[in-house]
Amino acid sequence: MAKARVMFDLECPCCGASLRVDPEVRAVISFKEPERPRTVESLEAGVTKLKGEAARREEAFQKSVTREKQQAEVLSRKFDELLKQAKSSPQEPRRLRDIDLD
């Protein structure tokens, strides 16, 4: 007498996919992805959304360019300030560290 194959139908808790598992071979026999909702209702809405994305990308790029141009000035000012502090204070002896005691 042939054994009847028992298969389990499961749903993935993470992605919601449907899985069919064969316990004899301990493997997933079939896999079906869940239907994803449409992100855009119409083609016109998608086009307007993409145009808005391009403007936001350009704005973010311009901000990053401005920050990079100002970065050199900021670093220069920080260096000048630290150099001024180093010249104004006498050189302090190095602190004794635990590793120096060995």
User: What's the whole-number average pLDDT of the chain?
Assistant: 86
Q: What is the pLDDT of residue 70?
A: 92
CA–CA separation, 32 vs 18, rounded Å? 5
| Per-residue pLDDT, 4 | 67
Residue 1: pLDDT band (50, 70, 90) is very low
pLDDT average, residue stretch 70-82: 92
Q: Which residues pair with 60 in a beta bridge?
A: none
Sheet containing 18-22: give its strands across.
8-11, 18-22, 27-32
